[in-house]
């Protein structure tokens, strides 16, 4: 004991008879020199204990893959595991922490991780939905609330944000990210990291963020989850990496590898990604965790012959922590002992992990996050529910509103509420809903009933199930529609149709929902479709049969209230699509920032780039979304029109609310580089602002563009701007037509 105290170089103020516990040593004074503290712990550790810190196991609560180990508690007691995921609640984390701190030789506290993706107990909209708000403050607030709840339940670490750019709606995980665009994706990545981590990691209401999945996971071929990724380094750096870099710059302390291969090497074995880009180029000082058993999976990828080799490849490549795969756990000890793997590599990884544990304050008080009182006061509090409702209504996108059927009047006499999602409580929290309980959710039907409480006003008929083939409920639904002044139809996907391992090759509404809608439309009544889904859908058969369409994603705990706020006009929708909605799955991949090609579309010319059977344009473009009012753009000014690298350019546009209601507009700025040493996208988002305008009000909205904004990886793969002409477009979506010219002179 005394020897250990001397090793630490600290005065032992508290000596306990049965075990030596580090946190007692660190009680006072608080750490002055973090690196010295980390090293002082490292010095005490056996090789087995070090490898324990590199090991993350799931508890037996919930898993997202095969559970390989059931005896995680024995491993905690043996000091063979440094972090646990899927264990939460103040009481349970306290129990496990006590085992680590009181019953192991060194008492190094455990780190508790969990997938807090869009809320812990109070569920917020799925991340793609939140991205549709284009409201960074709201998105940050959502992560703040999630962190406050999760930390009260003993969690230190969320496996979020997912910052993967996704351009293929077949991929179920588009739901977990911010959509197709690197600029918007980067802004949202920052907001989420800042929301989770706050400005002080030692605060008990902040948690560690984890930027995932590093990297390019969203580019899985054919949208099939876990599938091969193959792209140029230029596309990787220009499109897929920027949100990760943004997350790092916002302070993300951990990164998670991805399941896919890139340039022929699985990400968990990629020293290009984990050492060259992440550490050497970007200076990352936090730690890297694998995604689940991705080290083991390198055997199936076919780059190593067995798990031992996989572990060696991973640690050399820069993996610090092995999630669930137990590869470091099984093989690393021998590999270090026989000199195959250098202990320096292990020490470096341990340091990174201990550093983060210190930063969280776990050595001062390992139980500080597991707070039953705070848990009771915080989880699902009225304030958190209110915050969720606010973000939820901001996430709704109005896709169509013919004849201004919306907003509805509260004096309506009869409203038919139809569809499998109309009262589908279970779906509202979406996939990855943490500790959320669907029973806490408000359904669409309940939201409408609260606005139209008079008995007999609302007539609910499900009509059909989400995915089934039974048309037996159609007749009752059509009858209800005939008797109604307006028909609200809740359609969409089941929550589990998006998220991990939930790719679809058909992105139309499942089951017989399109047919149900067709039957309802044949009544001639005004039809309002309320969509709930986790991906862009092919709405070609929906749009012609609906007067109005609201894209509501999965909005979380307050879904029904938030949708009712929009349906009845208490809130004027302002959401914009963060991802393109194609006309059919054959157009995929389709995104606004495509290249022009050498044979751009020409209607009269057969030999131009197009389809025989469908237009090139999507059904709803990126950035698109309507309002209950209208906006006009004019007077686009670019000054100076010719700029040099050290000169910022001021871009101004006048935006006017030309309708009769107050409303918000997301003003978007796009740039096209006309000529480059390599081809450039036809448009790139370079700025956006959300402005509130009263009826008739007009305002000048200003952006600043610098040389850095028009840089790209040139033919020699240098990040630089090339002189020449740029088209500037400003408007309410990615097809904006108001244009001006800007020239860079060098
Ligand atoms: C696998 C998923 O890909 C990842 O996103 C998640 O964080 C882990 N499982 C842990 O649940």
> Nearest 5°: phi and psi at 230?
-145, 120
Q: What is the rounded (10 degree) CA torsion for 444, 445, 447, 451?
A: 140
pTM: 0.96
Q: What is the mean pLDDT of residues 517-534?
A: 98
Rounded CA gap, 397 and 138, in Å?
A: 15
Q: Is residue 154 in some structural domain?
A: no
pLDDT for the residue numbered 62:
77
Q: Is residue 126 in some structural domain?
A: no
Indicate if 291 belongs to the active site: yes
Instruction: Return all residues near 195 (Cβ < 8 A) that are at least 6 apart.
Output: 139, 140, 141, 142, 143, 144, 146, 147
**Does 31 score more than 90 pLDDT?**
no
- Cα of 50 from ligand 1 centre, angstroms: 24
Q: Is residue 119 in some structural domain?
A: no
Closest CA to 492 of 546, 542, 558: 542
Decide: 197 and 161 in contact? Cβ < 8 Å: no
Ligand 1 pocket test: pick from 63, 126, 166, 291 the residue with the most ligand atoms within 8 Å of its Cβ.
Answer: 291
Give the residue with greater pLDDT, 23 vs 503. Answer: 503
Final residue of a domain: which of 325, 350, 380?
380
Q: Is residue 38 in some structural domain?
A: yes
Record the tokens describing residue 356, joined without a space. 């983060």
- The percent of residues above 70 in pLDDT, for the chain, comes to 95
157-158, strands of its sheet edge to edge: 157-158, 111-114, 83-85, 55-58, 322-323
- The percent of residues above 90 in pLDDT, for the chain, comes to 94
- Which CATH number goes with the domain that contains 729? 2.60.40.10
**Does 26 score more than 60 pLDDT?**
no
pLDDT for the residue numbered 18:
36
pLDDT in tens, 605-645: 999 999 999 999 999 999 999 999 999 999 999 999 999 99
pLDDT category at 22 given cuts 50, 70, 90 is: low
User: Do 495 and 361 share a structural domain?
Assistant: no
Q: How far apart are the first and last CA of the chain?
A: 68
Nearest residue CA, atom 4 of ligand 1? 291
Q: Considering only CA atoms, give the Rg of the chain.
A: 27
User: Do 684 and 643 share a structural domain?
Assistant: yes
Record the tokens describing residue 615, joined without a space. 């237009």
Neighbouring CB atoms inside 10 A of 719's CB total 11
Q: Which residues line ligand 1 (CB under 6 A)?
A: 64, 115, 159, 212, 291-292, 500
Rounded CA gap, 336 and 313, in Å?
A: 13
Final residue of a domain: which of 576, 598, 617?
576
- Cα of 287 from ligand 1 centre, angstroms: 16
pLDDT in tens, 76-94: 999 999 999 999 999 999 9
Average pLDDT along the chain: 95
Rounded CA gap, 423 and 560, in Å?
A: 9
> Nearest 5°: phi and psi at 724?
145, -165
Q: Is residue 188 in some structural domain?
A: no
Closest CA to 348 of 38, 57, 9, 34: 38
Helix, strand counts (H, E) of the chain: 23, 26
| Residue whose tokens read 């701190």 | 101
DSSP per-residue string spanning 294-334: TTTTHHHHTSSSSHHHHHHHHHHHT--BEES--HIIIIIHH
Decide: 399 and 626 in contact? Cβ < 8 Å: yes
pLDDT category at 66 given cuts 50, 70, 90 is: low
Closest CA to 64 of 323, 380, 344, 439: 323
User: Do 502 and 434 share a structural domain?
Assistant: yes
User: Do 495 and 430 share a structural domain?
Assistant: yes
Rounded CA gap, 324 and 345, in Å?
A: 20
- Cα of 412 from ligand 1 centre, angstroms: 46
**Does 6 score more than 50 pLDDT?**
no
Active-site entry in 291, 322, 538, 565: 291
pLDDT category at 70 given cuts 50, 70, 90 is: confident
- Determine the length of the chain: 746
User: Do 413 and 527 share a structural domain?
Assistant: yes
Strand partners, 728: 671, 740
User: Do 523 and 408 share a structural domain?
Assistant: yes
User: Do 668 and 530 share a structural domain?
Assistant: no
DSSP per-residue string spanning 215-254: TTGGG-GGG-TT------HHHIIIIISHHHHHHHHTT--E
User: Do 424 and 403 share a structural domain?
Assistant: yes
What is the three-class DSSP state of 343?
helix
Q: What is the DSSP letter of 591?
A: -
Rounded CA gap, 638 and 648, in Å?
A: 11
**Does 162 score more than 60 pLDDT?**
yes
Ligand 1 pocket test: pick from 83, 160, 500, 501 the residue with the most ligand atoms within 8 Å of its Cβ.
Answer: 500
Q: What is the mean pLDDT of residues 354-369?
A: 96
Record the tokens describing residue 337, joined without a space. 């002992």
Rounded CA gap, 376 and 433, in Å?
A: 19
- Cα of 265 from ligand 1 centre, angstroms: 20
Rounded CA gap, 421 and 434, in Å?
A: 21
> Nearest 5°: phi and psi at 361?
85, 15
Rounded CA gap, 508 and 504, in Å?
A: 9
Q: Is residue 102 in some structural domain?
A: yes
Record the tokens describing residue 625, joined without a space. 């979304």
Instruction: Return all residues near 607 (Cβ < 8 A) that are at least 6 apart.
Output: 599
How many distinct structural domains can be found in the chain?
3
> Nearest 5°: phi and psi at 44?
-80, -15
- Of ligand 1's listed atoms, the one at least distance from the Cα of 86 is 11
- Of ligand 1's listed atoms, the one at least distance from the Cα of 213 is 5
User: Do 472 and 537 share a structural domain?
Assistant: yes
Instruction: Return all residues near 664 (Cβ < 8 A) that are at least 6 apart.
Output: 572, 574, 627, 690, 691, 692, 693
Closest CA to 240 of 215, 269, 259: 215
pLDDT category at 68 given cuts 50, 70, 90 is: low
Final residue of a domain: which of 576, 594, 615?
576
- Which CATH number goes with the domain that contains 421? 3.40.50.1700
Q: Is residue 322 in some structural domain?
A: no
**Does 404 score more than 80 pLDDT?**
yes
Q: Is residue 245 in some structural domain?
A: no
* HEC-encoded secondary structure of 362-392: CCCCCCCCECHHHHHHHCCCHHHHHHHHHHH
Domain span at 706: 631-744
User: Do 636 and 669 share a structural domain?
Assistant: yes
User: Do 693 and 544 share a structural domain?
Assistant: no
User: Do 728 and 676 share a structural domain?
Assistant: yes
pLDDT for the residue numbered 64:
72
- Cα of 292 from ligand 1 centre, angstroms: 6
**Does 583 score more than 60 pLDDT?**
yes
């Amino acid at each position: 004991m005394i020897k250990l105290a001397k090793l630490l170089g600290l005065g032992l103020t508290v000596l306990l008879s049965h075990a030596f516990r580090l946190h007692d040593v660190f009680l006072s004074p608080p750490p002055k020199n973090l690196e010295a503290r980390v090293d002082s712990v490292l010095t005490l550790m056996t090789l087995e204990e070090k490898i324990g810190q590199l090991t993350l196991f799931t508890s037996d609560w919930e898993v997202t893959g095969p559970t390989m180990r059931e005896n995680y508690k024995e491993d905690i007691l043996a000091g063979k595991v440094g972090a646990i995921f899927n264990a939460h609640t103040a009481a349970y984390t306290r129990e496990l922490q006590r085992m680590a701190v009181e019953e192991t030789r060194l008492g190094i506290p455990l780190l508790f991780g969990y997938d807090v993706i869009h809320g812990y107990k109070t569920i917020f909209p799925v991340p793609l939905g939140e991205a549709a708000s284009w409201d960074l403050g709201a998105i940050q607030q959502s992560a703040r609330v999630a962190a406050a709840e999760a930390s009260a339940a003993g969690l230190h670490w969320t496996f979020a944000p997912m910052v993967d750019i996704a351009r293929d709606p077949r991929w179920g995980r588009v739901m977990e990210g911010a959509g197709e665009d690197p600029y918007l994706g980067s802004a949202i990545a920052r907001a989420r990291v800042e929301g989770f981590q706050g400005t002080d990691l030692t605060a008990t209401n902040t948690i560690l963020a984890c930027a995932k999945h590093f990297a390019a996971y969203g580019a899985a071929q054919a949208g099939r989850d876990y599938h091969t990724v193959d792209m140029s380094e230029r596309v990787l750096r220009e499109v897929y990496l920027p949100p990760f870099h943004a997350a790092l710059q916002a302070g993300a302390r951990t990164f998670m590898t991805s399941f896919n291969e890139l340039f022929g090497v699985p990400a968990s074995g990629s020293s290009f990604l984990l050492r060259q880009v992440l550490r050497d180029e970007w200076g990352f000082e936090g730690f890297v965790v694998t995604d689940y058993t991705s080290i083991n999976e390198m055997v199936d990828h076919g780059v190593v012959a067995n798990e031992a080799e996989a572990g060696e490849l991973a640690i050399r490549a820069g993996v610090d922590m092995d999630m669930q795969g137990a590869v470091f756990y099984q093989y690393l000890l021998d590999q270090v002992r026989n000199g195959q793997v250098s202990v320096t590599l292990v020490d470096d990884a341990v340091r990174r992990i201990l550093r983060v544990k210190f930063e969280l304050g776990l050595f001062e008080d390992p139980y500080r996050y597991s707070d039953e009182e705070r848990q009771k006061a915080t989880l699902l509090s009225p304030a958190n529910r209110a915050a969720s409702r606010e973000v939820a209504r901001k996430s709704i996108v109005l896709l169509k509103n013919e004849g201004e059927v919306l907003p509805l009047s509260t004096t309506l006499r009869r409203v038919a509420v139809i569809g499998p999602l109309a009262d589908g409580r279970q779906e509202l929290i979406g996939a990855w809903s943490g500790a959320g309980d669907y029973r806490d959710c408000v359904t669409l039907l309940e939201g409408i009933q609260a606005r139209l409480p008079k008995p007999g006003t609302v007539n609910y008929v499900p009509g059909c199930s989400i995915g089934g083939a039974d048309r037996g409920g159609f007749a009752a639904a059509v009858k209800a529609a005939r008797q109604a002044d307006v028909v609200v139809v809740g359609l969409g996907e089941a929550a589990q149709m998006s998220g991990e391992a939930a790719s679809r090759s058909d992105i139309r509404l499942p089951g017989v929902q399109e047919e149900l809608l067709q039957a309802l439309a044949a009544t001639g009544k005004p039809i309002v479709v309320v969509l709930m889904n986790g991906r862009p859908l092919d709405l070609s058969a929906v749009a012609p049969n609906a007067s109005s369409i609201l894209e509501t994603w999965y909005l979380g705990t307050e879904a029904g209230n938030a949708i009712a706020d929009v349906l009845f006009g208490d809130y004027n929708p302002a959401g914009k699509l963060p991802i393109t909605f194609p006309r059919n799955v054959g157009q995929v991949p389709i995104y606004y920032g495509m290249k022009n090609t050498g044979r751009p579309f020409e209607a009269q010319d057969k030999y131009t780039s197009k389809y025989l059977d469908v237009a090139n344009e999507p059904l709803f473009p990126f950035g698109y979304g309507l309002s209950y009012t209208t906006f006009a753009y004019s007077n686009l000014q670019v000054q100076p029109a010719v700029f040099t690298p050290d000169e910022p350019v001021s871009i101004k546009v006048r935006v006017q609310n030309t309708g009769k209601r107050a409303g918000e507009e997301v003003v978007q700025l796009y740039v096209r580089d006309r000529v480059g040493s390599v081809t450039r996208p036809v448009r790139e988002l370079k700025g956006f602002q959300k402005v509130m305008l009263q009826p008739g009000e007009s305002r000048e909205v200003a952006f600043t563009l610098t040389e850095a904004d028009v840089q790209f990886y040139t033919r020699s793969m240098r990040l630089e701007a090339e002189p020449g002409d740029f088209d500037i477009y400003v408007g309410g979506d990615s097809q904006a037509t108001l244009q001006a010219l800007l020239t860079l002179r060098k």
